Amino acid sequence: MKANCFQCQFFKVTWDPQNPRACVAYGFKTKQIPSVVVKQSSGTECLKFVSKVESRRMQ
């Protein structure tokens, strides 16, 4: 399953114009969509994706 960062609880928008997107789970900021960076770096899809909808149900 391909992760959609915009639907992930770990996706954040930053104030940094050079790196406007961030992944809290992996702890990095980037210009690209974080799941693309994870795929390019590791060769696998993002393994830390948690849907915002699912995380709300568990609370």
pLDDT tens digits along 14-28: 999 999 999 999 999
Closest to 4 in 3D by CA, of 30, 28, 33, 26 = 33
Contact 28, 10 (CB under 8 A): no
Domain encompassing residue 33: 5-58
The answer to whether 14 and 31 are in contact (CB under 8 A) is no
Q: Give the number of domains in the chain.
A: 1
Range 22-31 contact pairs with CB under 8 angstroms and sequence separation of 24 or more = 23/48, 25/50
Residue 3 pLDDT grade (very low, low, confident, very high; cuts 50, 70, 90): confident
pLDDT for 23: 97
Percent of the chain surpassing pLDDT 90: 81
Residue 53: which pLDDT band, with cuts at 50, 70 and 90? Answer: confident
56: pLDDT confidence band, cut at 50, 70 and 90? low
Tell me the C-alpha distance between 16 and 42, whole Å.
25
pTM of the model: 0.83
